[in-house]
Structures are given as structure tokens and as C-alpha cells.
Amino acid sequence: MSEGETGAARRRARDLGLRPGVFPPGALNAITDVAGVLVGQVTRIEGDFTRTGVTAIRPHGGNLFRERVPAGLATINGFGKLAGATQLQELGELESPLVLVNTLSVGRAVEAVVDWTLAQPGNEAVLSVNAVVGETNDGRLNDIRARGLEAADVRAALEQAAPGPVAEGSVGAGTGTMAFGWKGGIGTASRVLPAALGGFTLGALVQSNYGGALLMDGHRVGEALGRFYLREHADRGDADGSVMVAIATDAPLSDRNLGRLALRAMAGLARTGAAFSDGSGDYAIAFSTHPGVRRPQPRYEDWPNERMSPLFVAAIEAVEEAVLNSLTMATTVESRDPLSRRKRKGEAIDLDAVRAVLARG
């Protein structure tokens, strides 16, 4: 059995010899290397049709509505349904966790996040909550019209959110997603800056569901393996899709500089060969966990503009590697089309084939 078909043999990008960028990863090489960040996931695989899930990111374990974190948003192609985006842009802060689901589950997820937030001790008099819910469309493998994801799944992901290792690949909100013609999913990575540059940690988490011509640390893997957008000048359907990126850092950044940081996620996606096509929704949200910049009363002067460049590089590198991990850790997912009942298959990229491409240089 090839490594494109078995979960037991899946490997992260670094285990294949890929080393994107110049900065070292954190201990877990995950968004949870940023102290205080919690991730929870629920995966729904049921019968022949349901292949979906939810991924929840909590910037800290306290009452986020009372201790809001500064945040910035970047969009390069806005074909998506990012709930809460305009208030996030207007105020530059997160007052709810960031939840990722499939396209047609955004409404239920918003209600679940609102209910969960209102139920937090201290929020008894709250009359408005800006629930931030992102999505990608997993309808190629999941019966998305059935809307099998329940509010209880979202609440479970929020309650189960924890520090530590983050499951990757065909899990959570990445259960039914595709990327570059192969099975995509959830991926994460991190970078640690040296003390001379601030000593900060930055982590990224992606929900990959987009396309183009796959690059892996500069290696033209998509072309070598014969799967890429515009092959033979014909659209093979491997470009449209979406990607959601979450970036966390413990650097004391303003929402303005977090917006600049989020924009650099797009450079990380470009390094993977993203096409940023007409039908793709490409979003990134960056937030700071530094206690001194929490709202409503920041107590810390934010990091100066002229020292932002190393963080920009770290964001680019972490996003690139997170995407690679989403592919190399994904397992093959099979389902049936709810109308035709025909079998559908999201094939995991074959790691032996990837190694062969890398060996050729």
C-alpha cells in the first residue's frame, strides 16, 4: 500500500526533508507553540455522505469577550462567507473564538459561537456578539447540502480546545477539503525568532481547499506528478476552492500591524503555487496573544514598524509549511455523491512519489 493511502504512514513536511524558510519552528511546530492558544476539533464521518467537521481556535483560555485580542484581516480574493469580517476590520479585535466550518454551516456555527459566548461567566448582560466564522466548501467529498454539522459539534470543539499537538490532515474543518487536486485539510506550523529580533513565537493554522500548481519548498511537485491548474491549457478544476489562515503571535502588535502580518500569509500561499482563482476565497486573520495589548485597556506600546520585517518572514514561512503539512498528513477520503450515488475519492498525495521528486532536486 502506498503512503498516499494509509494514515499510519503519513508524515509531516519536515519528516520528508522539506525545510521552508530560515527561522526554526517551535517545539510542536504548531499554532499552539504560541502560549495560551487553544485548538479544538470535531470530525464528522458518517455513512456514505457526511465528510465534514469543525476546527475552533481560542486565542486564550479566558473570557475572550472581556479580554479581547487585537486582530487584523487580509483578503486577496473574496469569494467566501467570512462571518464577522466587517466588525473585525472596523474595531481591529476578536471578541469570540475563530471557528472554521464548511460553507453551508456558517449560519449554525455563528449561532453556536454566540450561544457559547453568552454562556460564559460574566457575560450575563451581553447584548451583541461578533462571532467570527470562516469556511471553505467541502462539497466535493461531503454532502454539504445536508448540513450535517450541528451546533453541538461547534460547542464541543470550543469546549475541547486545548494546548499541545494539533491533529492535521483529514480532520475537523479539513475532513472533506481538497487542495491542488489531492486531499487537503488542516495544517499547522510555527516559527521562533531569535532574541535579537524580539524572541517572539508565531504560529499558523490553515484549512486548505484551493488549487494551482503545487510547490513544495520550491520543488515543482504538482507539475512532476501531473496534477496542476491549466495543465495542457485546460482548466481541470484544480484551482477553485478556498483557504482560511489563522496566524497567532505573542508579539505585542497593534491591529494595524496585525493586518499587515495577515497580508503576508498570501505570500506563503503563493510559495505553495496558489492560483488565487476567481472562485477562491483566500482569507487570513492574525491576532496577538500578548497580555499587554489586550482590549479594552492595552497597557503596552506595540512593536514598532521598523522591526516588523522578521515577523513578516516568519508568517510567510509558517503559512507555507502549514499548507504542506495539511497535504502530507491528509489521508484518502472516500464518499458517495448524494445525487448520483457514485463513489467519490479525495486521494492523499503519495509520499513516496513526493520523495522521488525531491530526490531529483
Residues annotated catalytic, as ranges: 242, 280, 282
Residue 314 sits at φ, ψ, to 5 deg, of -60, -40
φ/ψ bin of 276: left (φ > 0), alpha (ψ from -120 to 50), beta (otherwise): left
Query: What is the per-residue DSSP string for 87-114?
Result: HHHHH-EESS-EEEEEGGGHHHHHHHHH
| Percentages of the chain per state (helix, strand, coil), in multiples of 5 | 30, 25, 40
C-alpha cell, 308: 516588523
Sign of the alpha-carbon torsion through 71, 77, 80, 81: positive
Distances (CA, A) of 80 to 83, 223, 351: 9, 28, 31
Residue 323 sits at φ, ψ, to 5 deg, of -65, -45
What is the distance, to the nearest Å, from the Cα of residue 142 to the centroid of all Cα atoms in its chain?
A: 19
Distance from C-alpha of 99 to C-alpha of 154, rounded to nearest angstrom: 8
Distances (CA, A) of 201 to 12, 53, 269, 288: 20, 28, 20, 10
